[in-house]
Chains A and B, each alone.
Chain A
Amino acid sequence: MENSHGHVSHGQTADSHDSGHGFDTKAIWRTFWILLVITCIELIVGMFIAPRFPHTTKVWFNILYIIFTGAKAFYIIAEFMHLRHEIKNMIMTIAIPALLFIWFIGAFLWDGDSFKNLRNTLDPHHKEATQKPVAPAPAHGTEEHLK
């Protein structure tokens, strides 16, 4: 009961505003086009450009994909989920915990890579077994692999 007192006046001002203007539909469609264009660029890079380069350059394409993904994620969160228009403190309560992912990802990948190097160094059999080609033709789901 107590709690509701504070709202009434706020609520009414907000109400009159809301009925006056609508949602910013233009911004939504702009976001849509941005997301669509990024996806198309990813498609073109992944389908036509990346396969022309040797596998050792894959990491550079991956960095490119990460940048694209980050951009898409930003637009979805900021515009579709409306976070950009919330109060700054609320944005912070979402953004600060999200920063925990940096070390979460970093440590896990670091240790994964280290595990690989460790095995390749200490277990020559494992290295040989995993680096020996088993078929001359490229893999394309052949029938003999069916269960």
Chain B
Amino acid sequence: MSNEATHGHPEVVTTHEAHHDEHHVHHHKETFITKYVFSQDHKMIARQFLITGMAWAIIGGLMSVLFRLQLGYPDQSFPFLEDILGRWAKDGKITAESYYALVTMHGTVLVFFVLTGGLSGTFANFLIPLQIGARDMASPFLNMLSYWFFFIASVIMFSSLFVQTGPFSGGWTAYPPLSALGEASPGSKVGMDLWITSMALFVVSSLLGGLNYIATILNMRTKGMSMTRMPLTIWALFFTAVLGVLSFPVLLSGFILLLFDRHAGTSFYLDSIYIGSAALPNEGGSAILYQHLFWFLGHPEVYIIILPAMGIVSEVMSVNARKPIFGYMAMVGSLFAIAILAFLVWAHHMFVTGMNPFLGSVFVLLTLLIAIPSAIKVFNWLTTIWRGNIRFTPGMMFSLGFVSLFISGGLTGIFLGNSALDIALHDTYFVIAHFHIVMGVAGFFGMFAGIYHWFPKMFGRFLNNTMAYIHFWVTLIGSYLIFWPMHYEGLAGMPRRYLDYTNWLSFNQFDGLNKFISTVAMVVFAVQLMFIFNFFYSIFKGRRVTVKNPWGSSTLEWTTPIVAGHGNWPGEIPEVHRWAYDYSKDGREYISQTEPVTPDEKPH
């Protein structure tokens, strides 16, 4: 037995050596293609993910502006819409088909391509090797493939916008029969095939990335970087990767069955369906099965979005409050608890599908348990800033905004997690308000906090602060103005996914409110364009970073040169002697992780 346990050793040596040889070769012949396009440098791949994600965010955001225009001004026509959308907005009014296509694509794009690919793709790639002290990912090649699979998935999804019958339009959850039968709607034809293909490639990309992140975090940490010395960003990204690796395959299985239903005459999800007056031959399937498979991914997916944001916020907040994060182990424990619970609660999205109510009650219990780790996290953030020496940098502002949004959006989650309340609230604007605040906007705030905080590390320049503060305040206030009123609309029973409410007298009272929401949405979108401008302007013209560690942060990424090459540290990788949160200790503002512990100080 003894000899068997050790057989890992000799290879470990060789692999690492081989790995470093590769780096050297790489350094010598760096062309434009290997540096900017097919780069294997994790920092470049992170930037590729970020910029692709930003492109998608503009597209997805623009879609929401277009359908908000319809929802706010259902009686008016906008001739310019016909210029953009052509026959999808005949006479300047969005058609029903294009409205559904827009909301479907808005959801798909923002959930998967922006807040999954763009958020954890960017920060996992950028931060993991830098913060744990590694030269690169465990497998830089697979890492590169991960981006390019994401890119191909993006191209296919984007191309589906331009097919004759339009992109898929049955909602981002792609429930059958709308997604299984080509006859169901124009978008269910080739648009749906492109949608599935794109999503399958996206799953491959996320698996390649996730496996790499896990292996890197477990195996490649520098000397002294024990698991409990890692910054919380790394813990969060670790659990995010675990969630992705275990839940995306289930979605893939669901999609494979869906493809068979579409093209091989099977009836996994189909039963007793009539088109016109003719019955389809499909018997014996269950549409609820698809929903189970989808939400088995779908619920972990929302944590895949929010966990990286939580990690980023914890780190940025501690740095800028100049205080150690409060309750480090409780933070790690609650991340772990959230990761486990993520797999146990999926059917709370399905309370009104006809699912067994007794089964539903178990899901209610498990769902409400999530409140515990979430509350632990929120209170720990609040106690972290309590009596802190807070520096209101843009990153810190967005972190504070994140906590505010996470509380407001999280509390309505407790409403919706109760199946009895959910019967009334399901598929109303209340749900829209809930998940946009807690997952959408909060996820974006985490992402913005990360971008503002690590932009100096990514590009060697700062973002413009004035624009950053405008960006923050307008986005925060605007988001609340958009989504807060939706709670009232939802409580009044206003259902989602309707093109036009004018003939529905009970909701006529909301005409003014809808106009208001649409107006604010456009203002907020415009401010995001300003952020995009700030981003690209600052890459080239921003204020230069002149010191290695501009935020006075104790983590490892700030010990690299201002513009680090492939391999991150020019010499030896620094050794780590303490945890990541020694702020305001022994009368010093911060102590870098690389500083040895002095005898009179308590080691962590």
Contacts and interface: CB of A to CB of B under 8 A. Distances in A.
Interface of A: 1-4, 6-8, 10-11, 13-15, 17-18, 20-21, 23-24, 82, 85-87, 93, 97, 100, 103-104, 107-108, 110-112, 114-115, 118, 126
A18 B354 CA distance: 59
B288 A7 contact: no
B580 to A, nearest CB: 19
A3 to B, nearest CB: 5
A110 B5 contact: no
A6 B224 CA distance: 11
B356 interface: yes
B356 A14 contact: no
Contacts of A126: 272
Interface string B355-366: 110010011000
B359 A18 contact: no
A69 B573 CA distance: 48
B280 to A, nearest CB: 15
Interface stretch (B9-17, B65-73, B424-432): B9-17
Given A1-B573, A6-B223, A108 B3 contact: no
Q: Looking at B3, B246, B292, B296, which has the most chain A CB atoms within 10 Å of its CB?
A: B3
Contacts of A93: 218
B2 interface: yes
A103 B342 CA distance: 12
B10 A85 contact: no
A28 to B, nearest CB: 12
A85 B9 contact: no
Contact of A2 (B9, B222, B289): B222
B359 A21 contact: no
Contacts of B288: 111, 115
B252 interface: no
B354 A118 contact: yes
B75 interface: no
Scoring B9, B222, B272, B344 by chain A CB atoms within 10 A of each residue's CB, the highest score goes to: B9
In the A-B complex, list the 8 residue pairs whose CB atoms are closest, starting with the nearest: A114-B356, A14-B9, A14-B6, A2-B573, A7-B13, A17-B3, A4-B16, A11-B9
Given A7-B9, A97-B246, A1 B354 contact: no
29 contacts: A1-B572, A2-B223, A3-B16, A3-B222, A7-B12, A10-B6, A10-B9, A11-B9, A14-B7, A17-B3, A18-B3, A18-B6, A18-B7, A20-B3, A21-B3, A82-B4, A85-B1, A85-B4, A85-B5, A86-B5, A100-B343, A108-B289, A110-B356, A111-B292, A112-B289, A114-B356, A114-B359, A115-B286, A115-B354
B242 interface: yes
Interface in B262-307: 272, 286, 288-289, 292, 296
B192 interface: no
A102 B542 CA distance: 53
Contacts of A21: 3
Contacts of A7: 9, 12-13, 16
A45 B344 CA distance: 36
A8 B356 contact: no
A17 B2 contact: yes
Contacts of B362: 107
Contacts of A10: 6, 9, 12
B355 A114 contact: yes
A97 B3 contact: no
A11 B355 contact: no
Given A11-B13, A111-B292, A3 B6 contact: no
A107 B242 contact: no
Contact of B10 (A3, A14, A118): A14
B347 interface: yes
A13 B6 CA distance: 9
A112 to B, nearest CB: 7
A93 to B, nearest CB: 8
A95 to B, nearest CB: 13
Nearest to B246: A97
A132 to B, nearest CB: 14
Contacts of B4: 23-24, 82, 85
Contacts of B218: 93
Contact of B242 (A13, A15, A97, A108): A97
Contacts of A114: 355-356, 359
Nearest to A118: B354
Most buried by B among A8, A87, A100: A100
B6 A17 contact: yes
Given A11-B13, A93-B218, A107-B362, 17 more contacts: A1-B20, A2-B573, A3-B573, A7-B12, A14-B6, A14-B8, A14-B10, A15-B10, A107-B359, A110-B356, A110-B359, A111-B356, A114-B359, A115-B286, A115-B288, A118-B354, A126-B272
B292 A108 contact: yes
A107 B354 CA distance: 14
B144 interface: no
Interface centre among A2, A4, A23, A115 (most CB of B within 10 A): A2
Nearest to B133: A2
A41 B296 CA distance: 36
A23 to B, nearest CB: 8
A63 to B, nearest CB: 22
A112 B286 contact: yes
Contact of B344 (A15, A23, A24, A103): A103
B220 interface: yes
Contacts of B356: 110-111, 114, 118
A32 to B, nearest CB: 18
Nearest to A123: B272
A139 B3 CA distance: 56
A87 B5 contact: yes
Nearest to B356: A114
A82 B133 CA distance: 30
Nearest to B284: A130
Nearest to B360: A111
Contacts of B575: 2
A10 B133 CA distance: 21
A75 B362 CA distance: 34
Interface string B1-41: 11111111110110011001000000000000000000000
Interface in B306-348: 340, 343-344, 347
B134 to A, nearest CB: 8
A113 to B, nearest CB: 8
A104 B289 CA distance: 12
Contacts of B572: 1-2
Interface string B228-261: 0000000000000010001000000000000000
A94 to B, nearest CB: 11
Contacts of A2: 133, 222-223, 572-573, 575
Max chain B C-beta neighbours (<10 A), residue from A3, A107, A111, A114: A3
